[in-house]
Structure 1
Amino acid sequence: MNMRILAIETSTWLASVAVAENGEVLAEWEALTRGQHASVLLPAIREVLAQARLGLEQLDAVAVSVGPGSFTGLRVGLSVAKALAYARKTAVVGIPTLEVVAHAAPADAAYVAAALDARKGELYAAVFRRVGAELEPCVPERLVSFEAFLASLPRPCTILGDAVERYGDLFHQRLGEHGNILPFPQWAPRARVVAQLARRQLARFGLPTQWPEEPHYLRPPEAQVHRSRAA
């Protein structure tokens, strides 16, 4: 399927944008935003579209990483994706963030654990098994404690995601030679992978008729928790 896709990834503090056509990345941008997604995302989109020599009207779909991950980053990414798609009258394709993380792993990794730091001693995590050229989930995404995450891992296993920043030393200590711990942000979720997974999804199922309503947080945002307690 020959499609032009604008892809957005804002689930961690490494934000990225890419434009791909027929599986080839035409232009991409990334930056360590440290929570400043709102101020950099639209200029970055204009930049990659200019580099690709495309206008919004030439896009077939907007793909976006929908979580779990940074509450603010996900909200900004999905809001921008929906606004652009509405203006273009095209579709928004939501891609689960932990799948984006896992597909950044080396092609020879038999088992891949995608782990994002959820704070409070917890992780957003999922484990995937390589079957041919595909990654299939063998432990579904969930909010989990560090110890429960370790207990769920097959051995050997490749681990990547921003949880490595906080727990990298512990991963090395507890897993030893059975863990291949990939550093962040070198092995971060990126928009080029969002575009790749969106193209695969569109080839299988066609354009979605419904857009993602909200990011997939796995845990309610703090503001929502505070409102619930106040009520």
Structure 2
Amino acid sequence: MQGGVALVSGQGVICEYTLNVKAPYSERLLPLIDRALQDVGITPDQIEGFAVAVGPGAFTGLRIGLSTAKALAAAGSQLLVGVSTLEAMAWTLPFCAYQICPILDARKGEICSALFRHEGDRVIRLSDDAAVSPETLSSRIEQPTVFLGDGLTVYESVLRSQLKGLALFAPLAGRGGRAAAVAELGRRRLLHGHRDDLAELAPRYLRPTEAELKRLGRFVPVAS
């Protein structure tokens, strides 16, 4: 449900809007972008580059976010970079002494997760993104770990039960992703000369969509 937009510069966050409500992302993304530009008093052509979260995450939300970012970048011949959703979430807990595990509810009894740690002004990836059961994730945790993300809404009690004192939890205000974190990581990539090709940048799904499963003949309908 959560999505947002942000504008950042070398001086910090200029503006950021976050919504965590049950409303189609397609209906709120463009109005949020328009509001941000109007409130700051700039036009799209004054933006030097765009950053977009590319996943993992909800299939529809990722497609909408990525297609919108591509359209904006293409319209003004501007730069675009993709940013890992989980890495951007880990970025919101700087100088954390423990390893960090963002988790997203992937439905079907699974969570999307990865392990990170902070090293100075960098966030270091310790594991690849994976869609696993909370029990499988718990079996891979061997040290105190800070969890954050919407997966806690469903699986916090499971993690507490499985991991005991090894499970630490970010406060409510720090559990969700932030558009400003995506923007800041994207800005860093752009300043280091990284660029993504508009035609090749794609969402990072950790498992096939239902449509792909049907096409592959592995979709089994559930009888009521």
Q: Considering the TM-score relative to the shorter chain, is it more than 0.5? A: yes
Structure 1 residue corresponding to 2:149, chosen from 161, 164, 167: 161
Structure 2 residue corresponding to 1:44, chosen from 27, 32, 36: 32
1:2-61 per-position Cα deviation (integer Å, ceiling 9, x unaligned): xxxxxxxxxxx1111001122511111111233510001101000001111110010111
Instruction: Give the alignment of 1:204-219 within 5 angstroms.
Output: 204-210=192-198, 212-219=200-207
In the TM superposition, residue 115 of structure 1 has moved relative to its aligned partner by: 1.2
In the TM superposition, residue 187 of structure 1 has moved relative to its aligned partner by: 1.6
Structure 2 residue aligned with 1:100: 88
Residue pair 1:23, 1:199 contacting (<8 A) in 2 also: no
The alignment's TM-score, normalised by the length of structure 1, stands at: 0.87
Aligned-partner Cα distance in 1 for 2:94–2:167: 14
The alignment partner of 2:92 has SS state of coil
Residue pair 2:81, 2:194 contacting (<8 A) in 1 also: no
Percent identity over the alignment is 34
Moved more, 105-114 or 159-168: 105-114
Structure 2 residue aligned with 1:16: 4
Structure 1 residue corresponding to 2:213, chosen from 225, 228, 231: 225
Aligned-partner Cα distance in 1 for 2:165–2:218: 48
Residue pair 1:104, 1:188 contacting (<8 A) in 2 also: no
Structure 1 residue aligned with 2:21: 33
1:85-144 per-position Cα deviation (integer Å, ceiling 9, x unaligned): 111111221001110111122532420011111111112110012222322111221122
Aligned-partner Cα distance in 2 for 1:188–1:47: 22
**Where in structure 2 are there 5+ consecutive unaligned residues?**
220-224
Structure 1 residue 73 and structure 2 residue 61: aligned? yes
The answer to which structure has the higher strand fraction is: 1
In the TM superposition, residue 210 of structure 1 has moved relative to its aligned partner by: 4.9
Structure 2 residue aligned with 1:176: 164
Structure 2 residue aligned with 1:59: 47
Aligned-partner Cα distance in 1 for 2:218–2:206: 21
**Where in structure 1 are there 5+ consecutive unaligned residues?**
1-12
Residue pair 1:162, 1:184 contacting (<8 A) in 2 also: no
Structure 2 residue aligned with 1:118: 106
Structure 2 residue aligned with 1:151: 139
Structure 1 residue corresponding to 2:121, chosen from 127, 133, 154: 133
The alignment partner of 1:139 has SS state of coil
Residue pair 2:134, 2:159 contacting (<8 A) in 1 also: no
The alignment's TM-score, normalised by the length of structure 2, stands at: 0.90
